[in-house]
Structure 1
Amino acid sequence: MAQAGHGVGETRACGTGACAAVAAAVQRHGIPSAAASYTVDVPGGQLRVDRIADGSMELTGPAQIVAQGTTVLASSAASAGAATVH
């Protein structure tokens, strides 16, 4: 699965997109609502989506910081100062 972020191009992974891809595949192929595990391959590795019997999903997979920075948020700059973004 590939995911493009707004203004940043293709991203290495997208948990929301992985869960949505599983939900769409399950619905399209008429898979019963039983609990099951699915593997979604993304450029950053493999994500595991566990579908729970009640229809909810749990996502697991690798995570790592790929960028760091500091910014000043216009609406809170006067009162809070700079915010560090990870």
Structure 2
Amino acid sequence: MRSERPFSVFVDEFDAFASPAFATFLNKGRSSDFMIHLAHQTLSDLNRVSPDFMGQIMGNMNVRYIFRQDSQPDLGKPAKTR
């Protein structure tokens, strides 16, 4: 169902809500004219759901804002996801 104008959904502390079903929700949102904004602390938080979950989330994002990245294992991941 398309709305007359797009709207935004903001999810702070996304890792607390992260689930495989949310990846499907994110994927379907693009075609429904709504934007989902996710905020979380580290990319490793997303790996706790499953090994592929972070890739699904990163692969569905068009814009990324990364303010600080202190986790050595996560440093290169944002650059490698397109």
Same fold (TM over 0.5): no
Higher helix share: 2
TM-score normalised per structure 2: 0.23
TM-score normalised per structure 1: 0.23
When Rg is computed on C-alpha atoms for both structures, the one with the higher figure is 1
Higher relative contact order (CA 8 A, sep 6+): 2
Higher strand share: 1
